[in-house]
Chain A
Amino acid sequence: MRCTERPDNFESQRKQLEAMSDEELHALFWDLAEKIVDPLIEEARTHTTPSIERSVLLRMGFSSIEAAGLVAQMGERQLLERGAGRLVFELAQAKDITLREAGCGLLDGRYWEELQA
């Protein structure tokens, strides 16, 4: 619900905090902060994004241009939920080729049927 105008009611609002020691107030502050980020970090733990997947491929030795091409095509095929890195790694293992051969092969239009299997 959109926030509406409100006068500075600090004096009445602070009544609930008044009795707390500084330590208690600090503890409450950090407890609230952690509660606020809990669902956000849980989402991060269980989700991914094109940028994360490209960053994985960078780490696996692909250039930014190659990573962008691979992730875009995997995204179009709804494959990213398994992880771009995993797809390339498993393909390389299955074909007994290097990671780069697997990734560059995909960029050349090969192997896609095997990924979808």
Chain B
Amino acid sequence: MKLAPDQKLDIREVLKDLEHYRPKRKGWTWRVRREDQQIGPFIYRNTSETLKNSIPLPSAHNFGDIDPQCDFVITTEIASGRFEDDLRRMRMAAWHGADHIMVIRTTGQSHIDGLIEGTPEGVGGVPITRKQIRASRKTLDAIEEEVGRPINFHSYVSGLAGPEIAVLFAEEGVNGAHQDPQYNVLYRDINMHRSFVDAAEAKKVMADAGILQLDGAHNANATAKEAWKATPELFVQHAVNTAYSRAAGMPPEQIALSTVPPTAPPAPKMRLDLPYAIALREMFEGYKFRAQQNTRYMEANTQEATITHVFDTLISRLTRTDVQSTITPDEGRNIPWHFNSIAGVNTARQTLMSTDGLGDLLAIRENDSLRQQVREFKERAVLFLEEIMEQGGYYASVAAGQFVDSGHYPERKADGIARDPKRGDGAGSVIQRRPDYGAPVCSHFGNNAYAVTGKRPCEAYGGCTLCDPAKIRYIDEVDPTDNVEKRLEQPRAEREVGLLRPEVEKHGDGVVCVTLFVPARQRLAEAAALEMAKHMRLENPEVISCRLMHPAEGSVFEIRGILDTAVRLEDLPVHIHKEALPDTEIESWVRPRHIHVVAATVGEDEHSVGLREILDIKHGGIEKYGFHCNYIGTSVPLERVLEVAQTTGAQAVLISTIVTHAGVHKQNMLRLHELAAERGLRSRLILIAGGTLVTDDFARECGLDAGFGRGTKGRDVASFLVEKLRAAETE
């Protein structure tokens, strides 16, 4: 399957012949780092290979559209509940620089004792099945060709079916996974004997498949009452999983600690979180670090979350990190919307580009105060471990409620999560192996009659699925109603007749978000805001964020609702579909004709950047086709623009009008047309306006020939001019 950047992902193509699809590669891949790499005008210290296709940061157009890629792997979490929608989100995220795609599982999969098959819809994530994984890996294999960088696919090896999921992941080329039996025990109430016995097998399978393991300690942070007090236990959870993984045969380079800076402003975040990050990296020298952004203190305000995440990422840069994970800034208010997930990726890369080479300039001050803080983290952790031993070991200490206590260890509030070793989901299912126990397969942990040195345990029958993937048994669908084909019926039908709906999560879900400031006290303002949303024909409007500006003066609201309207492509203005002429065609027509144009930013307006880009040869502006451009500056009166046009014999006038206060851009456009008409110039001048809030329709309504808005390139303007002038020439 090959993707074309201007074509939507075709799910039919993804599903075609899936039964025989094999992943291109297995195991985790790191970015290829490049020291002192020249990209555009800059030399970067901490970058990796650049991409073939990507979408740079918004400001990149000022620097020649460069898109440097940082040295850390960047994660995005994906959780729409429908894998077919997830695939589109993965593709968008990859174009924005994500190369670790973490697919969240549907609620409750941890408690399913076995694998599920087919493509059922999930809640808060997808049901992890062979078909969904294979379709995702196949798509990612194509996306990595499109962007030009390997993409790591990740999900969860937890719950009651850990060993089976680990085998599934190894077979299907999943590259990273969470695996931590403590998570099962503490947060899913799965029997602890079952969890740890299963975990050893799962870890062995993951180790042999090169899958990067993330632990589950970040959950203790996310659920703690006061997250900065959970730090001693976080050391312990990391240590238990790390030591257990090593004992199960996992090499250190595949073991990544999932760590989160515990606090957020207004807490003195850097002063608390940085020493913690340092202490952790010292204690776990030799292991990988997956830095997650803070979720514990996320509210509905996406801007606040974003700023916290910038500082989380700064900690990653100041210490040592291998994988920078991102949290979508809207996680505090809804299931992540796809464009917000991508905003999270951008937060990370913008921060990491901003801090490129920071280590050359800054070092953390190694003074007594820092050392004391670092030491205290470690000592509290050691004391915690000692008490586990005193309690009689791990199981006894969990039974006693030593974990997830809200006290700052050794302080204790006696509110920890206590689990009975004899209870929990899957209790009583652990079976003692007889001395002749055997499992004739690779990557099996523990006593095994077939584990003979120098021989593969599966040799006698020609190889297990890990050696011979042709033996993998693929199940397509099991539920005739809950499957991808059924779900695609509506989107396909709508696409065929050319209907478009807005969406935030699933195909055409119709969800939109509007921002309203209402100048009244909060409760009144909220009721009014919801009423206003209904007037906008939003169904089921719901306030997802409210920020008080002043108790009496008003509040600002973000309201989500469903806009149950589909737009027909055929009803859209034709010129929107029009492609610009090819560069060569424009240039060969323009150059011999010596066409002059006059350009200026008009009115009381000092913005020049946008117009210069449309004109300047070095930005790919219209000069490169041979237009003679006479740029006369900013804040130019309209009269002056027309005078220059007259004296230079220009055939077109380009005005830029950015300022929009009191509709001044509209006035400028109307006045330009009127003035040109008054002076008898209108018929021989093409009048064009450009600006961030200018649209083609708007400019035409004002009497101009065309309007160009955000995202316009010189080629678009040149193409329009050529077509217009060519038409006039042939008349």
Contacts and interface: CB of A to CB of B under 8 A. Distances in A.
Contacts of A14: 379, 383
Contact of B383 (A10, A66, A81, A92): A10
B602 to A, nearest CB: 67
B722 interface: no
Contact of A32 (B199, B382, B408, B464): B382
Contacts of A56: 439-441, 444
Contact of B385 (A29, A51, A52): A29
B199 A44 contact: yes
Interface residues of B, number: 97
A46 B465 contact: no
B452 to A, nearest CB: 14
Interface string A1-38: 11111111110011001000010011011101111111
Given A1-B400, A44-B200, A59 B239 contact: no
B197 A47 contact: yes
Contacts of B386: 32
A83 B437 contact: yes
A52 B198 contact: yes
Interface stretch (B59-67, B240-248, B334-342): B240-248
B638 interface: no
A22 B164 contact: no
B239 A30 contact: yes
Interface size for chain A: under 10, 10 to 19, 20 to 34, or 35 or more residues? 35 or more
Given A89-B461, A92-B461, A36 B194 contact: no
B670 interface: no
B386 to A, nearest CB: 6
B200 A86 contact: no
B388 to A, nearest CB: 6
B697 interface: no
Interface stretch (B12-20, B358-366, B427-435, B494-502): B427-435
Nearest to A56: B439
A68 interface: yes
Nearest to A93: B460
Contacts of A59: 167, 441-443, 458, 464-466
Contacts, number: 256
Interface in A56-104: 56, 58-68, 80-86, 89, 92-93, 98-99
A49 to B, nearest CB: 5
Contacts of B375: 22, 25
A44 B28 CA distance: 26
Interface string B288-305: 000000000000000000
A55 B163 contact: yes
A37 B117 contact: no
B720 interface: no
A3 B433 contact: no
Nearest to B241: A37
A85 B388 contact: no
Contacts of A117: none
Contacts of A8: 407-408, 410-411
B446 A44 contact: yes
Interface string B378-392: 111111011011010
B479 to A, nearest CB: 13
A46 B410 contact: no
B449 interface: yes
A114 interface: no
A85 B438 contact: yes
B361 to A, nearest CB: 27
A39 interface: yes
B206 to A, nearest CB: 12
Interface stretch (B256-264, B469-477, B580-588): B469-477
B156 to A, nearest CB: 14
Nearest to A1: B400
A37 B386 CA distance: 13
A2 B418 contact: yes
Contacts of A108: none
A41 B244 contact: yes
Contacts of B117: 64-65
Contacts of B394: 36-37, 39-40
A33 B239 contact: yes
Nearest to B408: A8
B413 interface: yes
B414 A85 contact: no
B225 to A, nearest CB: 15
25 contacts: A3-B400, A5-B407, A8-B410, A22-B282, A33-B236, A36-B388, A37-B240, A39-B394, A45-B445, A45-B446, A47-B432, A49-B163, A49-B429, A51-B113, A51-B114, A51-B160, A52-B198, A54-B164, A63-B473, A64-B114, A64-B115, A83-B433, A86-B436, A86-B449, A89-B460
Identify the 7 closest CB pairs spanning chains A and B, nearest first. A86-B438, A44-B200, A8-B411, A63-B473, A55-B163, A64-B115, A61-B471
Interface of A: 1-10, 13-14, 17, 22, 25-26, 28-30, 32-41, 43-56, 58-68, 80-86, 89, 92-93, 98-99
